[in-house]
Structure 1
Amino acid sequence: MLLKNALFSQAGFGITANTILLLFHVLPSLQDCRLKPSSLTVCHLALVHIAMFLTTVFLVSPDLFESMHFQNDFKCKALYYLSRVMQGLSICTTCVLSTLQAITLSPSTSWMAQFKHKSVHFITRVYVFMWTLSLSSCASLAFYVVAFSNLNQTRFLKLNKYCSISRMNSIVRYLFYALTTSRDVCFVGVMLISSMYLLNLLFKHQRRVQYLHSTSHSSTPCPEKRAMQTILLLVGFFVVMFWMDFIISSFPTRLSDDGPVIQTIRRLVSKIYATVSPLVLLSSDRRVIGVLRSVKQAFNSLLH
């Protein structure tokens, strides 16, 4: 119950944070009647994380699970399948966001500058590829998720009160983990390369303008340094959470005896990035700072 309460609290906070992030990018775009590729990617990431939290809440809440008027077997397959698809899309979208940032901030002399105008046309194809890859890579797992019953508890791993997953054949299990792991490691590798490229650009730019800040005694970090810290925090935190989730999921046989407890712990760990990432993106957005200052000024004027 303690772990479930922590999961519900995490889901409530994560849904709220991602909804705020979504609104901060959608509302200004409605006024301009267009959505930039970077804003579109942030919106997609926020929607993926919201869907991820919702599927988790339906899986662990008996009342919400029973409120869906479908057979338990179909509900188990659909919810567990969607949760894995959203987890894969989170990795893919973070990779695309990091790559778009590197393309956007690359100098005109860089080889990546040629993709600046093409990114608008290719972004739709990228999303089609991401969704196709995530949907197909997790399709086989849905066949192993069934409704739980006391008759099959010796042959199945219990996921929650209603759902369980069959013990896969060792060859099938290793093949599935090899495919999903290679997909995730590939996207994480591209994300790290693009982030390091972006950090290198920011470092070079900071050195060029360092003499402008040498006479300043302000403790406020320059925009380049603040952007560098934001990227390092987002990428570093993502990689740490990715490997923590990978370590937990790599030992299904050893951890299978603990059943729902291990599943709940894994859900908590795998959703930490979805909870923290909107806070990191919001803290680096100047519009959010401007809104907070406006709210503070309005609040002070009401007090006086």
Structure 2
Amino acid sequence: MDCLRDPVLPITGVLGNSMLFCMYSFNFTTGYRKRSIDPILIHLVFVNAILLLFRGIPEMLRVKKWEYFVNDIGCKFIIYLQTVFRGLSLSSTSLLSVFQAITISPTTLFWSKIKTKAPKCVLPCCLLCWIFNMLIDVFVPVYVTGPKNSTIKGRLSLGFCSLNVNGMRPLKSVIWKSVYDFVFVGIMAYSSMYMVFILYRHHQQVKHIHHSNLTSSVSPEIQATRSILLLVSTFVCFSIASGPFIIYMDSFQGTISWTYYVSALLSMSFQSLSPFVLLSTDIQMATSFCVL
């Protein structure tokens, strides 16, 4: 399992997200090729970078046998931030897909009003995501303890810390988190299907151009939409893949097996690969990168 303990993935992800954070921030502050979704992209790559730091560094400490330098307070703080930023990554990706769906929607009277108001709602929506995620996970630190208590029966091992599963069951936290994930994934899926429909209709409208001798150019909005659709698809694939391993770990509490390492790898894969997905598909951002 050494390949699953390799810190290259989180380190590469942090560097990729940090680079995109600088690029998106530059575009947003200078107005160079500024887009309405840039604040959400800035928020997303920032959240992903911080999540990788608080998810990857503890894993490195555990592999290096330094986990006993983390006490109960450190465990509570790290696990709380992990859960908060995981929720922020999910909600930010959903928010990105919704706002992009609004951006490419038809220019009707109804959508024109929404398009005008949407940019003003970006920052309040991001702030609400922070407040909501910090509140929904506020109970987590109460049931988290340090490495010395990780072998006690009824506790789910988190590698370097442990979680009192029996104590959390009356709160039905697993059900609430499942509902939370389902709602945001549902929003993500619905907005993605709407964007696919818009792209298909756009393809049908310009189909005659492809049969002519003229060179057809794809608009920046369409390019960004394709990029976000691929990003959402990547998120959903990794989320679905990690589900069975999380269920298996919950069934066999207190032990660290190969499923733990696979689950840890999958939990960091989207955040690590997402900046490179954006760079490879977002032609406008790739052009900005070449200019800089």
Q: TM-score range by the shorter chain?
A: 0.7 to 0.9
Q: How far did 1:199 drift?
A: 1.6
Q: Summarize deviations over 1:182-232 as a string: whole Å, max 9, x none.
A: 1111111111111111221121122111112212498x9955876665344
Q: Which runs of 5+ in 2 are unaligned?
A: none
Q: Summarize deviations over 1:55-80 as a string: whole Å, max 9, x none.
A: 013322338997999x7111000101
**SS of residue matched to 1:234:** helix
Answering whether residue 185 of structure 2 is matched by residue 188 of structure 1, we say yes
Give 2:40's aligned residue: 41
Give 2:73's aligned residue: 74
Greater alpha carbon shift after TM alignment, 125-134 vs 41-50: 125-134
Using structure 1 for the length normalisation, give the TM-score.
Answer: 0.82
Is the Cα–Cα contact under 8 Å of residues 4 and 60 in structure 1 kept in the other structure? Answer: no
Give 2:115's aligned residue: 116
Is the Cα–Cα contact under 8 Å of residues 103 and 112 in structure 1 kept in the other structure? Answer: yes
Q: Where does 1:16-55 land on structure 2 (aligned, <5 Å)?
A: 16-32=15-31, 36-55=35-54
Answering whether residue 292 of structure 2 is matched by residue 285 of structure 1, we say no
Give 1:197's aligned residue: 194
Q: How far did 1:45 drift?
A: 0.5
Greater alpha carbon shift after TM alignment, 33-42 vs 182-191: 33-42
Distance 1:292 1:21, change over 3 A: closer
Is the Cα–Cα contact under 8 Å of residues 58 and 65 in structure 1 kept in the other structure? Answer: no
Distance 1:34 1:237, change over 3 A: closer
The one-letter code sitting in structure 1 at the alignment partner of 2:164 is S
Quote the Cα distance in structure 1 between the aligned partners of 2:65 and 2:36: 36
The one-letter code sitting in structure 1 at the alignment partner of 2:252 is L
**SS of residue matched to 2:156:** strand
**SS of residue matched to 2:145:** strand
Is the Cα–Cα contact under 8 Å of residues 255 and 262 in structure 1 kept in the other structure? Answer: no
Give 1:128's aligned residue: 127
Give 2:55's aligned residue: 56
The one-letter code sitting in structure 2 at the alignment partner of 1:119 is A
Answering whether residue 166 of structure 2 is matched by residue 168 of structure 1, we say yes
Is the Cα–Cα contact under 8 Å of residues 100 and 225 in structure 2 kept in the other structure? Answer: no
Give 1:101's aligned residue: 100
Which of residues 246, 251, 267 in structure 2 aligns to 1:270? 267
Give 2:85's aligned residue: 86
Quote the Cα distance in structure 2 between the aligned partners of 1:77 and 1:119: 37
Which structure has the greater CA radius of gyration?
Answer: 1
Name the count of aligned residue pairs.
Answer: 290
Is the Cα–Cα contact under 8 Å of residues 242 and 267 in structure 2 kept in the other structure? Answer: yes
The one-letter code sitting in structure 2 at the alignment partner of 1:10 is L
Greater alpha carbon shift after TM alignment, 276-285 vs 226-235: 226-235
Is the Cα–Cα contact under 8 Å of residues 40 and 126 in structure 2 kept in the other structure? Answer: no
Distance 1:198 1:17, change over 3 A: same
Is the Cα–Cα contact under 8 Å of residues 95 and 187 in structure 1 kept in the other structure? Answer: yes
Quote the Cα distance in structure 2 between the aligned partners of 1:226 and 1:37: 14
Distance 1:209 1:151, change over 3 A: closer
**SS of residue matched to 1:153:** coil
Q: How far did 1:245 drift?
A: 2.4
Give 2:231's aligned residue: 234
Is the Cα–Cα contact under 8 Å of residues 244 and 269 in structure 1 kept in the other structure? Answer: yes
Q: Summarize deviations over 1:115-147 as a string: whole Å, max 9, x none.
A: 112112222321222112211221222211111
Distance 1:13 1:151, change over 3 A: closer
Using structure 2 for the length normalisation, give the TM-score.
Answer: 0.85
**SS of residue matched to 2:159:** coil
Distance 1:252 1:77, change over 3 A: same
Quote the Cα distance in structure 1 between the aligned partners of 2:13 and 2:97: 21
Is the Cα–Cα contact under 8 Å of residues 88 and 133 in structure 2 kept in the other structure? Answer: yes
Q: How far did 1:37 drift?
A: 4.0
Is the Cα–Cα contact under 8 Å of residues 224 and 282 in structure 2 kept in the other structure? Answer: no
Give 2:5's aligned residue: 5
Answering whether residue 170 of structure 2 is matched by residue 177 of structure 1, we say no
Greater alpha carbon shift after TM alignment, 233-242 vs 75-84: 233-242
Q: How far did 1:5 drift?
A: 3.4
Greater alpha carbon shift after TM alignment, 44-53 vs 116-125: 116-125
